[in-house]
Structure 1
Amino acid sequence: MSIMELIENAVKNYPDNDAMDTPGGVITYREFDEQLREFVHQLEKCTSPGEFVGIEADRKFGAIVAMIGALKIRRPFVFIDTRDSESSNAEKVASLGIKVIARHHASENRAYLTEIPAGWHLAASHQTLGLPSVEDEIGYAIHTSGSTGDPKCVLVRTDPLTSVIQYHMDRLSVGSQSRTLQFARLTFDGCITEILWTLTAGACLVVLDEAQLVPGTVLQNTLEKFRITHLKTTPFALTATETSSAMSLSHVINGGGACRPSVVQKWSEVAKFHNAYGTTETTVCNFLSGELMPGECTRSVPLGDIVGDCDYYIQGLAPADEQCSSEGIASRGELVITGESVAVGYFTAQGVQRFTDIEGRKIYHTGDIVERRGGQLYFVERLDRQVKVRGYRLDPGEIEIAVCEISSVMDTVVTVESHEGDKNFEPDALVCYYQGNVEPRAVRRHLEDVLASYKIPSVIKQIDAFPYTSNGKVDRDALQTIRLEVDCFDEKMSSAQQILHLARQLTGVDDAMLHDNFFDLGGDSASAVILINKIKELGWVDAGVRDVLRAENLKALADQLQERSV
């Protein structure tokens, strides 16, 4: 069956069930069908098959009706966020040849069509061509966030959605009594699975304002109040939100980022917990795990089983680096998705950049490094986050996985920075930030047991909570700012206290004491040079790295310097 046939069955079998619970009221499947028919009638009069329709990305009943209506009569759609700049939205409208916009009519609680807003028209001299004809039937376009470069417009086909949605319905036991929280923004493709697995099962989609979805206490209250049974959300939201016995959850899914063992531990206490992986370019979701048990995820969390009509292989990064299984197949490298789930391609000013190889087979290189262990696939790191420090190429994700093996660590981020925090300097420090109830010294001891010495961070910094960008990504610039936010020297400080202050700043060990050795705290050759430069600024102009190397501990270093004239 197609997606639309599944939805039509839900309307037929559960006409009096709640289809949507919204701020404007509850809508039954019978009412939903009536609204859908009315909107489809409007859309057929205003557009032709294959012609894109824009949908305002408001969290309203009308936006969902418009999406389903577009799918029903084969009109590709794109969600457009009115909070984006007018120039950005004008580019989207012009490039896709959009002539009408679907909006939500607040007072009548329905979807309607309107002309393109005046501010969304490009100047005549900047007009771009509309979408060229392609042989594939396009279901929708998604504009990526552009977190690793310029935003891209991905053209996704309709047909692969059916097997993806049916797999979710089965694995997540979505039934007519289920209630899914529509969490993802409509401009993020995660919303597609939330909406469709619900409406194809005769279940209720709970659509709320973003103010009721803020991770933490607000989201916790929302889950309780609206009796949510199915939740798919981000690692950040799962980390920041606490569980409670008042929740009605039956299935919780991590998506949109690496899942940590601590998250599995917490949420598996109140629901069946799953991990999901996929990309916009490969139709939302390619892997979904079964119920995960904390005891099986002490090291890292598997991606799960293949979803939809796709396959994959692991491409070794280079002959010298390729790790192979006993069968000679790369067990660590870049994840490559193949098959029908692969989208059409990127729509660019030069036309459609198809996701195919030289023989025309559908293929997409994800840019994600994965590892196969014990028959399971695990995410390691983004390929573009590989770094070179101290002459070694490193995957920060591998170090993050090792840190998260500590049961009391909730999450961690490993970055490469300048020891002094100045972006004008060459990055020379591997810095580990972590959230959890364990001291930096214990983290270092654990890493020394499980990692090669060159992979151990110079700085290990405990923080209360991670800062996030508006897109839900960890704000790495803000992390560096946190590390460098230290008290200034007090003029009353003794020379020993000043040196101790510098050592704490350079290693991240806030409870470092004078009896500690600088290198045992995490100091290395680069940070030792900086330490000496700072000491020289305090007046000991003849101090050298040899003084740090020879000093048994920080007190001995201070005593050595104190014996010299200042």
Structure 2
Amino acid sequence: MELSDLLTDLFRRHHERTALRTAGRTWTYEELDRTTSVLAGWIDRECAAGRRVLVAGEHTAEAVVWALAVMRSHAVHTPMNPGLPADRFAEFVRAADAGLVVCFDRETLVRAGKAGVRALHAGDVGWPTDPVPRDNAAAAPAAPPHSRVAYSIFTSGSTGDPKLVDVGHGGLLNLCRSLQRLLEITPDDDVLHFASLSFDASISEILGALYAGATLVVPVWDQASWLGSVSRHLAAHGCDLAMLSPSVYARLDEAARRRIRKVEFCGEALGESEFHKAARYSRVFNAYGPTEATVCFSLAELTEFTPSIGTPLDGFRAFVRDSDTGDHATAGTGELVIVGDGVALGYAGGHPDENKVFGTVDGTPAYATGDVVTLADDGELSYIGRIDEQIKRLGHRVNLAHVESTLSHHLNRDVALIRQDDTILLATTADSDDTEESLMGRIRSLVPVWEAPDRIMLADALPLTAGGKVDRNALRERLAAPSDALAADASELRHVLDVVAAVLGRELDPDTSIFDAGGSSLAVIQIQVKLSERYGEEAVEAAFASMDYDFTPAAFLRHLRGEAIAPGESAAEVLLGRVEAELTRLRVELPLLRRETASWAEHGDPAVLLTGASGFIGGHVLDRLLSVGRPVLVVSTGDPDRVLNEHRTRFGRDVAAYTRVRAIGYEELQQWVDRRRGPALDGVVHCGYQVNHLLPLDSHMNGSVRNTTLVVRAAAAFGARSFVFLSAASAGERFAPLSAAALEAVGDPYSRSKLLSEEYVNTLADVGCVVSHYRPGLVYGHRPEDHGYLKDDWFTGLIEAARRLRAMPRLDGYVPVCDVSTLTESLLRGLQADAGTAGGVGSGSAVVVHRTYSLGELLHHAGLSESDVLAPAEWFERVRDGGEVHPPLLSAMQAALRGPGWRTPHREVDHDILGRLLGTPPTAPETEAQTGAAHASSPR
């Protein structure tokens, strides 16, 4: 039976049962039938039959749905790990010769585009909502035949080079039947989806669950590791069946292991220690199967520890091959040869020598595994090890897998033996009392001298591959490192680098910023959580704070040890000294720019220079400028033409409305200033700023603050009379002189950068330009066309989470809010300031709050009551457990709620700003005594 037909049969056989579940969302078999059928039809229209479709996503229900859709299409399902390093990612794409890549985040979409393959973002396609007619085959055009390849999976040989295994349809039905029978999967079972889609164990998880009518459960990946997320999920909810490698199982919390009813070990040899841990709580199964044999070849239930890997699944036979004669036997010890229709079709595009492992026995497809087994007369198999792990030492034949198992049992810990040339290296986890010398002494008392390793490396945990196996290549690299007097420092740095590599999926130079390497705010959070496990939360939090939440491995260790800042000198004082030096240079330059370029300005009516037109507030400012017919110079970080096209669509304006608008990028503006030639400017409204509270200060300084400085230079060069800067109320309520104390009083890097940008803008007062800073509260007034700007808004995210949880965090103070239309008018009034003869700072500067909201009003808009209020810590814990809030947005909420809220109620507008935004009834006017307590930090 072909894979697509198998899935169609399963969906319709179990149609009313729950097939797939994740936090807050379930799919019945009938819903999966409808959804995947429509998506499969879409794939068939976009990709030629028989071409591979790379599904570059994992650990989400959405990725599972798309994987099933590709399986039902006429394309070939080919999952790929999206976290591969860039060069490896491109190498895999080329090897697959893919017709399409399905991506689940924008970064992967960009990487796929650079690799030269057509790619789409799953979110841009969306979920189908229309029902699919059941019996419309007669009306449909004849479909092309399905590919003989059911799916393709990347694997790697001993060299680590990627190989693409093409697996046919022949073994799938037997796989499903055998898993249901041997693992006793029932329709009432919850089957854990743990494996990366790029690891073929995911095929067993998905098809095994669906064939039995069970529910496949996908835990929510929160800000910690995937393994940590799964461990917490299991501790809270348990599961009936988990398919895990022994290395992964060993890292689960005890509470998680208690809640697993059946565990199937797969992917690597099961050690006695892991067996006994599992047998305390679960039924234990041991599975064996290379990728080249449709995931699983044999399976055994173990009631006591043995090296048994069971008997072959339905449709398979086992032979052992004598390495000297090449003969095949049905009993004895030798290389395992798998025979049956479930044997893969071969390696796609592989070298002929690689495909020599595929052949036939008695006319049936066969695969030579390279594994040494003992095959008993009754068909039971016992795993011994790899052929390439058989070595000669001191005249004795040594099997490294056997030695590894022996040492793991006696030492009661993870052990990995690595061969490097003639040297045997042992890596293992360390107990508190261990030294390399004491451990080597114990090992030599356990095994003969020819089986003892030459070197030992102690580690907190052995590194794992994406598939959950011990990463032996990573161990080889570590063990090859020289040992010298700096071993302790090198070990600490190595640990930090390993944490970063686990998060980013690639190595990072010790002195390279994670943001310069393309990392995200989420990656910083994950790294901070992992490092806290070793160094403690308070120490790591202090180190990250002193780095302004930038991160380089070497700098982290310096800050952790207190070596980064000179005694008596704070980080704010260091930063202030650097900024003051730059301000001094700018004050010298601006009068020269003003004098040299004023006469060179191009003719025509003076324009208003506007930044941030693609943003929420800047877009409204541009719309207002168009309404009054002002000439506008738009400066943008993105494609200038696209900015205007999107603005036109957003506000429903004709092309003719933009005849007096010119859009350029910051690079072109830099060239104008450098050439001392550009348009005459009447004024500047600077709204363009990256609003991200989790970026480090250095990123803001190198991005938004640097752009602000360029706009200041342009204002001086082209004669601007006024400059209006959209700052942030979180920069403080008082316009005080810049000082180290003022910087330290501001809570987050984004707000500090706004305060510093104000100082750069203030230098224009020296050349006769009137400067006005507007520090607004949270700005709303979104029309339907503006709702996309609310996606990453921490405050509306908090309200939505409160509605879902039926709980609100207890807050202190008031939430200050602004209306975008009223704010826009304030900004444009700032342009009308009379510069006089000397200019000035602060005459138009103001903290702008149009209305505040109390806790009682927020409860009203969330549909809650006072009884639904929780302590903030408890509320955030519930949000994290729910897993519905994206970790960066959750962190932004926490950062925003750390500081004190607005202390007094305020109302300048009559309408209910939040009521209009959220579509809730307006609240009745409240007196100050009635407002109650609310908590929100100074608004961003």
**Alignment TM class, shorter chain as reference:** 0.5 to 0.7
Q: Is 1:414 the counterpart of 2:414 in the alignment? A: no
Aligned position for 2:512? none
**1:118 partner SS:** helix
Q: Give the superposition deviation at 1:222.
A: 1.7
Identical-residue share of aligned pairs (%): 23
**Any idea what SS the aligned residue of 1:317 has?**
coil
Tell me the secondary structure at the aligned position of residue 304 of structure 1.
Answer: strand
Question: Aligned partners of 1:328, 1:146: CA distance in 2, in Å?
Answer: 26
1:288 corresponds in structure 2 to: 299
- Give the CA deviation at 1:57: 2.4
The equivalent residue for 2:386 is 382
Distance between the aligned counterparts of 1:461 and 1:479, measured in 2? 9
Distance in 1 (alpha carbons) for counterparts of 2:165 and 2:476:
29
> Shift of the alpha carbon at 1:365?
1.3
Residue deviations 1:146-189 (CA, integer Å, cap 9, x gap)? 55342111111023111011111111121222111211111111
1: CA distance between counterparts of 2:312 and 2:47?
37
Is 2:20 aligned against 1:20? yes
Find the residue that maps to 1:26 and give its secondary structure: strand
Report the alpha carbon displacement of residue 38 of structure 1 after superposing the two structures with TM: 1.7
Distance in 1, Cα, partners of 2:223 & 2:464: 18
In the alignment, what sits opposite 1:476?
Answer: 475
**What is the CA RMSD across the aligned residues, in angstroms?**
4.1
How far apart are 1:245 and its partner, in Å?
Answer: 7.9
Q: Report whether the alignment pairs 1:241 with 2:247.
A: no
Of structures 1 and 2, the larger Rg is shown by 2
Give the conservation status (yes or no) of the 8 Å contact 2:2–2:169: no
How do residues 407-556 of structure 1 correspond to structure 2 at under 5 angstroms?
Answer: 409-416=412-419, 427=422, 430-434=424-428, 440=439, 441-448=441-448, 454-457=450-453, 465-468=461-464, 472=469, 473-474=471-472, 475-477=474-476, 480=479
Query: Residue in 2 aligned with 1:402?
Result: 406
Of 258, 264, 273, the residue aligned with 2:269 is 258
TM-score (norm 2): 0.43
Query: 1:210–1:188: structure 2 CA closer, same or farther, 3 Å change rule?
Result: farther
Assess, with a 3 A threshold, how the Cα gap between structure 1 residues 247 and 3 changes in structure 2: closer, same or farther.
farther
Secondary structure, aligned partner of 1:337: strand
The change in CA–CA distance for 1:241 and 1:80 in structure 2 (over 3 A counts) is closer
2:846 aligns with none
Q: Which residue of 1 aligns with 2:324?
A: 318
* Distance of aligned partners of 1:213 and 1:229 in 2 relative to their CA distance in 1, 3 Å threshold: farther
> Which amino acid is 1:151 matched to?
P
- Count of matched residue positions in the alignment of Structure 1 and Structure 2: 449
Q: Structure 1: how far apart are the matches of 2:340 and 2:232?
A: 41
Letter in 1 for 2:75: R
1:344 alignment partner in structure 2: 345
Secondary structure at the counterpart of residue 101 of structure 1:
strand
Post-superposition offset of 1:138: 0.7
Write the distance in 1 (CA, Å) between the matches of 2:295 and 2:31: 29
Match of 2:313 in 1: 307
State the Cα deviation string for residues 493-550 of structure 1 (Å, max 9, x = none).
Answer: xxxxxxxxxxxxxxxxxxxxxxxxxxxxxxxxxxxxxxxxxxxxxxxxxxxxxxxxxx
Native 8 Å contact 1:141 1:153 kept in 2: yes
User: In the superposition, relative to structure 1, how do residues 331 and 25 fare at CA in structure 2: closer, same or farther (>3 Å)?
Assistant: same
Distance 1:59 1:159 in 2: 27
Gaps of 5+ in 2: 119-143, 489-940
Whether the 8 Å contact between 1:51 and 1:98 is mirrored in structure 2 is yes
Q: Secondary structure at the match of 2:447?
A: helix
Distance apart, 1:235 and its partner CA: 1.5
Within 5 A, what are the aligned runs for 1:554-565? Answer: none
Residue 75 of structure 2 corresponds to residue 72 of structure 1: no
**Matches of 1:237 and 1:246 in 2, distance apart?**
11
- Partner residue, 2:167: 156
User: How do 1:324-363 residues align onto structure 2 when only pairs under 5 Å count?
Assistant: 331-348=332-349, 353=355, 355-357=358-360, 361-363=364-366
CA contact (8 A) 1:177 1:203 kept: yes
Q: Which residue is equivalent to 1:180?
A: 191
Secondary structure, counterpart of 1:348 in structure 2: coil
The corresponding residue for 1:120 is 115
Alignment partner, residue 207 of structure 1? 218
**Does the 8 Å contact 1:244/1:270 carry over to 2?**
no
1:61 corresponding residue in structure 2: 61
- Structure 1: stretches of 5+ with no match in the other structure: 107-113, 124-132, 418-425, 490-566
Shift, 1:392, TM fit? 4.0
Please report how far the alpha carbon of residue 92 of structure 1 lies from its aligned counterpart in structure 2 after TM superposition.
4.8
Report how far residue 238 of structure 1 moved: 1.2
Superposed, which structure 2 residues align to 1:77-92 within 5 Å? 77-85=77-85, 88-90=88-90, 92=92
Which segment is superposed worse, 97-106 or 217-226? 97-106
Conserved 8 A contact 2:339-2:360: no
Q: Which has the higher contact order (CA 8 A, sep 6+)?
A: 1
For the 8 Å contact 1:400–1:414, the answer to whether it is kept is yes
Deviation at 1:140, TM superposition (A): 1.0
TM-score normalised by the chain length of structure 1: 0.68
Higher mean displacement: 463-472 or 263-272: 463-472
The structure in which a higher percent of residues are helix is 2
Change in Cα spacing, 1:115 to 1:340, as seen in structure 2 (3 Å) is: farther
Task: Tell me, yes or no, if the aligned pair for 2:321 and 2:337 is still in contact at 8 Å.
Answer: yes
